[in-house]
Structure 1
């Protein structure tokens, strides 16, 4: 089957051997080289372009985009797409076969502009999910890394895509992804940024000059809808694409939090662990300044994510210290006591599966204790849940019960220290961290927390001793990153700038920590390298952090800027 290129033709299907359309007489061999085999999307007058699978004179399958509109703006967009694709050299981005050319159908004065590209075989992600259902966490991570590496090529070349969505990403037979449809691509030039920010900005830090707007329902961020797209707009669309993939539900059919405007999706993808889910929510942050600042920083986070997923560091290290299952009591179903323990174990597992929803987790941990009042882990974890719920009485009561059952629990001392630190009771926090270190040789998290407190208290020699002690006890990249950050912090305050720089750079390589970016920007400025300092300032200001010292450093930086 050969298709006629003329959009006005009323009967476009032709026999493969035909040289001209039997209906309108237009030549079927386009530019003496290509035949149109079939449309890759419905031939609909509402689209300004038609997209076909084509074949060249050597039998190689291609994709041809045919613009039927004569509007100068749309012709300019197709020209930009052609020139942009010619710049890239990445296996996940289609290559342009020829320069843009025009075709005039028979009995017509209207020129059709044609772009021929490499064809990626396979299904797009929307088709894939419809055929196979939602994807696993492992596959989601694999695909996300692939797409970000493709976007890295685009962004580092000075462009951003502006139309990331499942239907624009192809799964090839070898499992590699390809990103298509660069028709909305935009170059990040000074004039473009001036248009975006030229009116002084709004509450999202963006200006209000009109920019060409391209919108895909559910995947386009608000700033792009308002004509103010920035490179981080691609991250929002990418996060939404992953939310669709891991839930199997189109994002327009998912609920949105009315207060925060964030997508509510985690309850539809419980197989996605919290570290990964947090990253996806960062990508989908409503304000672009809350998203990762660059593909390089995003790749650093993705490089470390498998370690966080393996050990579930955010939950087990900072919230739920007790490793689930280690303290599980053997079940003896043959007795009443065994049945109570079985019920207790059941609720413990339910609590574990709902750790992202502290109110629900609290209810289940209380049921654990109801059936087994000797479960120290349940008291410890209930205290941690109550800390997230800001219930001080619940925290202190349950730690007291946990200590009564297990007086030598370093995990409980660490958790209580973390609670006191949140309460800004630093002397009590330091005492609990020291007790945790005394109770166990494995309390590296307590060493890390105490080193940070020492730096905040300007006890830099003590911070260094603790950080070096901690590095001898761990090979975990996340914890190592925190310890190298503390070493760099202390050396910076001691004016040992070269040593501080070395430690902070290592911290960033290991985990891309926001506080390390803030400190390294100060070190580079002290060394006189203001250009490099600006790069790290961007990471400090835009990356996510809840640490009070980071907010303090950011405020000092803003104060300095406003005084100039």
Structure 2
């Protein structure tokens, strides 16, 4: 089976012996050398992306005389900014020859003209790196120990040293863009967002702040953003070489905790992730380095890869000192010395030490699946030192996070965590989510209500309860909670958005529009803006204001390509406007895209009912 390169082709799969695509007639041997074997990203999921990526057979060139399996990126549109990015990526891969970066030669970048169209596809062929990306690796093996983290960080900093020294920086470091090869070596991939480090570029960053809206926004300095990994300055179109360090630090927090970054709490005053307690295997010197990499300001981070390499060289010695200070043997020697000097006055002084030892024994028992013995140890420890309740609760929270995919086990650990600390709002919220996943509605509701008892003026608590009722189909109860959230905090944009959606469902389109417009006035978050524009467009559509509806729904889709509900609504608006070809394409995306948005399923069924009733050609 070989694939057609034409992304507009209606049937892209072809038999191995075909020379030209049976559907559109384009050659299946691209540039006289490349055969597309299989897509590395689902073609159905790629409707909104600018590129297709294929595993290909390269039958041979001057630089690669033997046939080999490689990877090819195909730019679907000749938009100048997109072409500039893929050309820059090609140039980077040609310039930098290093084991930690995919290989690509000068003749690996070329264009391909599609038959009977004006479209010219820009193609980049590169080395196929065997292995799995670190997101997949983490899913398979869990969080990494410190020795692995040290090895991987050292490899990647050496790779970045070569990249930065060559006059570029990456701008999109994340687990998905790092491949772990079978021999343990790491390769940094996807340089499509990379920039050159030039005085001209840095001048643009410092003077006009770049573009905060991505490609085609008017500035020459464009921003590339990956949620939770991109630093603050990059979100404002002001990425600098030190931006790579921030993304790398966050990548390693993800790897050493085994947790999604969105699930980690944040120190509101310092704006830093609170992650160390979820990675007990990482000692303080190494953790300090990761936190320095993730400093909120580029000037607070290490200023070069060489500075980081120097700190990495010192880490083994610093870790030994730290372990020596923390070791039981060292503690025993200190205690004996103090006793000898007569600084201990009676048995009570030893109680904290005994309590800590009991906690340690309890943790070992729980890890060995002896829960009852563990709780006996913990309860005895707390009798000696009541302050250990929080430590025991935190231990159970860590166990719950580690086993979150096993909902029954996670529920047990969250309940135990709350037994020792019944004031932990985040634990109640997590327990509510787990209960809902288990179908235990009463348990979920009870925990959401418990949050409100602890913090009655917390708008987010009312919003979470409203979302729960919303998911359960109890729309009137959901509206009450959303209104309470807005009453407490008039800037509660998520509540404004969801209440707007429910008013659309209640056919109160004037109120739905007002709520959406108020939310748009208060937020600059693209995801929230997309949801609000969708609700606004929905209301305008139902009021027969089709041109306005089309404008708002297109805006929603542009801001968030995963808002399939906006596309489904847009299809209906385009149909009402008589834009049949546009409607057909929008309906196709609406029907094929993967989504969990509940309204989409209703609109899909309505379309199927119409097609069944009127015939396949009656609507479009």
Establish whether TM, by shorter chain, passes 0.5: yes
Q: What is residue 500 of structure 1 aligned with on the other side?
A: none
Contact 1:347 1:368 in 2 (8 A): no
The aligned runs of 1:29-108 (5 Å cut-off) are: 29-43=29-43, 44-57=46-59, 58-97=66-105, 98-108=107-117
Aligned partner (choices 330, 338, 352) of residue 323 of structure 1: 330
Structure 2 vs 1, CA of residues 347 and 47 (structure 1 numbering), >3 Å: closer, same or farther? same
Contact 1:348 1:368 in 2 (8 A): no
Structure 2 unmatched ranges of 5 or more: 60-65, 211-218, 337-345, 364-377, 386-620
CA-to-partner distance for each residue in 1:312-344, whole Å, 9 max, x for gaps? 17x939xx9993454578xxxxxxx99997983
CA-to-partner distance for each residue in 1:384-413, whole Å, 9 max, x for gaps? xxxxxxxxxxxxxxxxxxxxxxxxxxxxxx
Q: What is residue 524 of structure 1 aligned with on the other side?
A: none
Structure 2 vs 1, CA of residues 56 and 324 (structure 1 numbering), >3 Å: closer, same or farther? farther
Structure 2 vs 1, CA of residues 240 and 29 (structure 1 numbering), >3 Å: closer, same or farther? same
Q: What is residue 22 of structure 1 aligned with on the other side?
A: 22
- 2:134 aligned with 1:125: yes
- 2:226 aligned with 1:216: yes
CA-to-partner distance for each residue in 1:229-276, whole Å, 9 max, x for gaps? 010000000001001111111212222221111111112111111111
Write the distance in 2 (CA, Å) between the matches of 1:266 and 1:353: 21
Q: What is residue 307 of structure 2 aligned with on the other side?
A: 297
Write the distance in 2 (CA, Å) between the matches of 1:147 and 1:260: 27
Normalising by the residue count of structure 2, what TM-score does the alignment of the two structures yield? 0.52
Q: What is residue 274 of structure 2 aligned with on the other side?
A: 264
Write the distance in 1 (CA, Å) between the matches of 2:269 and 2:143: 28
Partner-residue secondary structure (3-state), 1:323: helix
Write the distance in 2 (CA, Å) between the matches of 1:339 and 1:41: 64
- 2:249 aligned with 1:239: yes
Contact 1:162 1:184 in 2 (8 A): yes
Partner-residue secondary structure (3-state), 2:123: strand
Write the distance in 2 (CA, Å) between the matches of 1:181 and 1:34: 20
Q: What is residue 276 of structure 1 aligned with on the other side?
A: 286
Structure 2 vs 1, CA of residues 72 and 210 (structure 1 numbering), >3 Å: closer, same or farther? closer
- 2:192 aligned with 1:190: no
Displacement after TM superposition at 1:42 (Å): 2.4
Write the distance in 2 (CA, Å) between the matches of 1:191 and 1:142: 35
Write the distance in 2 (CA, Å) between the matches of 1:108 and 1:252: 44
CA-to-partner distance for each residue in 1:74-132, whole Å, 9 max, x for gaps? 10111111112111121011111424211123332201000001111000001111111
More displaced, 165-174 or 17-26?
A: 17-26
Contact 2:74 2:123 in 1 (8 A): yes
Partner-residue secondary structure (3-state), 2:116: coil
Structure 2 vs 1, CA of residues 199 and 104 (structure 1 numbering), >3 Å: closer, same or farther? closer
Q: What is residue 145 of structure 1 aligned with on the other side?
A: 154
Q: What is residue 2 of structure 1 aligned with on the other side?
A: 2
Structure 2 vs 1, CA of residues 173 and 338 (structure 1 numbering), >3 Å: closer, same or farther? farther
Contact 2:228 2:262 in 1 (8 A): yes
Structure 2 vs 1, CA of residues 127 and 311 (structure 1 numbering), >3 Å: closer, same or farther? same
| Aligned residue-pair number | 344
Structure 2 vs 1, CA of residues 120 and 324 (structure 1 numbering), >3 Å: closer, same or farther? farther
Show structure 1 runs of 4+ deviating over 6 A. Answer: 337-343, 351-354, 367-371
Displacement after TM superposition at 1:40 (Å): 1.6
Write the distance in 2 (CA, Å) between the matches of 1:178 and 1:352: 41
Contact 1:316 1:322 in 2 (8 A): no
The aligned runs of 1:344-493 (5 Å cut-off) are: 344-347=353-356
CA-to-partner distance for each residue in 1:430-469, whole Å, 9 max, x for gaps? xxxxxxxxxxxxxxxxxxxxxxxxxxxxxxxxxxxxxxxx
Displacement after TM superposition at 1:137 (Å): 1.1
Write the distance in 2 (CA, Å) between the matches of 1:101 and 1:266: 47
Q: What is residue 158 of structure 1 aligned with on the other side?
A: 167
Structure 1 unmatched ranges of 5 or more: 202-208, 330-336, 355-363, 372-564
What is the alpha-carbon root mean square deviation over aligned residues? 3.3
More displaced, 105-114 or 69-78?
A: 105-114
Write the distance in 1 (CA, Å) between the matches of 2:304 and 2:81: 29
Partner-residue secondary structure (3-state), 1:170: strand
Partner-residue secondary structure (3-state), 1:231: coil
Write the distance in 2 (CA, Å) between the matches of 1:96 and 1:112: 18
Normalising by the residue count of structure 1, what TM-score does the alignment of the two structures yield? 0.56
Contact 1:121 1:173 in 2 (8 A): yes
Contact 1:49 1:67 in 2 (8 A): yes
Partner-residue secondary structure (3-state), 1:312: helix
Contact 2:209 2:237 in 1 (8 A): no
Write the distance in 1 (CA, Å) between the matches of 2:108 and 2:163: 20
Contact 2:209 2:238 in 1 (8 A): no
Contact 1:65 1:115 in 2 (8 A): yes
Displacement after TM superposition at 1:9 (Å): 1.1
Write the distance in 2 (CA, Å) between the matches of 1:14 and 1:163: 35
Displacement after TM superposition at 1:160 (Å): 0.5
Structure 2 vs 1, CA of residues 200 and 255 (structure 1 numbering), >3 Å: closer, same or farther? closer
